[in-house]
Amino acid sequence: MAHRDFRSFLSAVEASGDLVTIDDEVDWDQELAGIGRLSCERNGPAFLFSNIKDYGSQFRIAANPIATWRRVAVALGLPADTPLRKLYEVYAEREDKTIPPILVNDAPCKDVIVPGDKVDLFDLPVPMVHEGDGGRYLGTWDLVVSKDAKTDWVNWGTYRFMVHNERLLTGFPRPTSHLGKMLLEGYVPQGRPMPIAIVIGADLPSHIAASATFKIAGNEAELAGGLGQRPVELVKCETSDLYVPASAEIVIEAEVYPDRVNQEGPYGEYPGYRSGEMGNAICARVTAITHRRNPILTLDTTGFMDSSATTTSISGAIAIKRRLEKHRIPVVDVYVPPEGGVHLAVVSVRGGGAAVTQKIVEVLTARRALMSKIIVVDEDVDVFNMAAVIHAFATKCHPDKGTHITRYAGRANTLTPAYSPQERIARSGATAAFDCTWPPQWPLESTPVRATLDSMYSPDVQQRVMQRWKKMGL
């Protein structure tokens, strides 16, 4: 069972040796985030900053809650050394066993209530995350609650938000995102402001559910309950009918204008590069802030190998596998390596070939094309072993016949660094699938045999080798 709130998660991470608390004064302007960024790049610990320049000990900032697999395991209530494949299996099992939330009247996130006319966003220790960012980003590791204008569908998602002034935020939900679709298809045509709640420092299953690749009209609160193996407690907002996790550290209630934009960006994003230039983005007016006493603001120092990379790796891979199964593709495993910035997927299949590879790329680019590269391997290649994947790619992918490219417009990932400014505006792009499987028409006797212990040695020899290996203490 997962930890009930963010503070108990931090205690568990500290017990596992993966949390460093810094009591010395650290500057909110890049220095604090820079420490977190280096930790991501070195697969290092999470950090809790308790003395922030200009803010003292009034607030704390926790950086990179689950930027490593060890911390993802702790977030799910598992031992920190849980193997990666096991993590995937547990997530998939719990995703199928959702648990509805329960409503409560009192909540820790209501310890302090700041009404709209008293709000000053600069009272919060919002960090300047990267040099060159368009401003100070409040929403990096957040959970944004929104509700469809026409139905009962409530969405939880992770979206970036930048402080524009004391009461205004600007944000970047992509038009193809669930929040973007709700706004553009529901509230904008009606000229109605869209209520949202930006939740910071909720229980980890709730954050993981919000950043998950989940179905349209899916209930992320129920998913969070399944992931944490207990119902999530929700409490009503002060200025809207939205409900938020009761244990959250900070909740920022706001309304998105249907007819107004403000400048936002650029920002160092999850693919590992700064995203474009400053441009028009949604504009949200803060209507209230509620928080716990001595609240903890959460920060994901976005870029190469951040917290979103691990969460998207698991949920995205499982979603891909289920989609391929739905289309009767003989998929065995799927892995989305965090090092790929959510732009690369590895798919293993039973019986590959050009036709299977082509169908895979067509299925995975039909609605939203987030992945620009897909590696397809035979089932004897462990997708979680990137050394084996690279070997298959280098030796089995035909440099001409093995590459399958699908081009599209209107649904490309605008954060793909390789796309030109014109392609990003048009949301046009392409996905390349690399067929690293043996052609099914090749006779068995002429198909190369891999020169590894498990492929080129008899079971008897393998057993004797492993026994001696173990006896030698290796």
pLDDT in tens, the chain (474 residues): 889 999 999 999 999 999 999 999 999 999 999 999 999 999 999 999 999 999 998 999 999 999 999 999 999 999 999 999 999 999 999 999 999 999 999 999 999 999 999 999 999 999 999 999 999 999 899 999 999 999 999 999 999 999 999 999 999 887 778 899 899 999 999 999 999 999 999 999 999 999 987 777 789 999 999 999 999 999 999 999 999 999 999 999 999 999 998 889 899 888 888 877 778 889 999 999 999 999 999 999 999 988 888 988 899 999 999 999 999 999 999 999 999 988 999 999 998 999 999 999 999 998 778 889 999 999 999 999 999 999 999 999 999 999 999 999 988 888 888 999 899 889 899 999 999 999 999 998 889 999 999 999 999 999 999 999 999 998
- Pick the closest to residue 188 from 150, 153, 237 (CA basis): 150
- pLDDT for residue 300: 95
Burial (CB count <10 Å: 0-12, 13-18, 19+), residue 325: exposed
**Please, what is the Cα angle at 219 between 3 and 306, to 5 degrees?**
55
Residue 461 structure tokens: 């020899």
253 strand-pairing partners:
197, 288
- pLDDT for residue 195: 98
- Pick the closest to residue 101 from 230, 242, 216 (CA basis): 230
User: What whole-number distance in Å separates Cα of residue 162 and Cα of residue 160?
Assistant: 7
User: What whole-number distance in Å separates Cα of residue 205 and Cα of residue 403?
Assistant: 38
Q: Classify each residue of 2-22 as buried b or exposed e, where b means 16 or more C-beta atoms within 10 Å of its C-beta.
A: bbebbbebbebbbebebbeeb
* Half-sphere exposure (Cβ direction) of 182: Cα atoms closer than 13 Å: 27
User: What whole-number distance in Å separates Cα of residue 304 and Cα of residue 270?
Assistant: 6
- pLDDT for residue 446: 87
Radius of gyration of the chain (CA): 23
Question: Letter for the amino acid at 410?
Answer: G
User: What whole-number distance in Å separates Cα of residue 314 and Cα of residue 204?
Assistant: 14
pTM of the predicted model, to two decimals? 0.91
As a residue count, the chain comes to 474
- pLDDT for residue 272: 85
- Pick the closest to residue 292 from 113, 473, 64, 63 (CA basis): 113
Residue 10 structure tokens: 């931090």
Query: Dihedrals φ, ψ of 95, to 5°?
Result: -60, -30
430 strand-pairing partners:
407
Cis peptide, bond prior to residue 266, ω within 30 of zero: yes
The DSSP letter of residue 219 is -
- pLDDT for residue 217: 73
302 strand-pairing partners:
none
- pLDDT for residue 176: 74
345 strand-pairing partners:
374
Residue 111 structure tokens: 């310890």
- pLDDT for residue 376: 98
Q: Are 297 and 201 in contact (CB under 8 A)?
A: yes
Neighbouring residues of 140: CB distance < 8 A, sequence distance ≥ 6? 129, 160, 298, 299, 300, 301, 302
Residue 428 structure tokens: 């046009």
Q: Are 247 and 109 in contact (CB under 8 A)?
A: yes
- pLDDT for residue 214: 75
Q: Are 330 and 350 in contact (CB under 8 A)?
A: yes
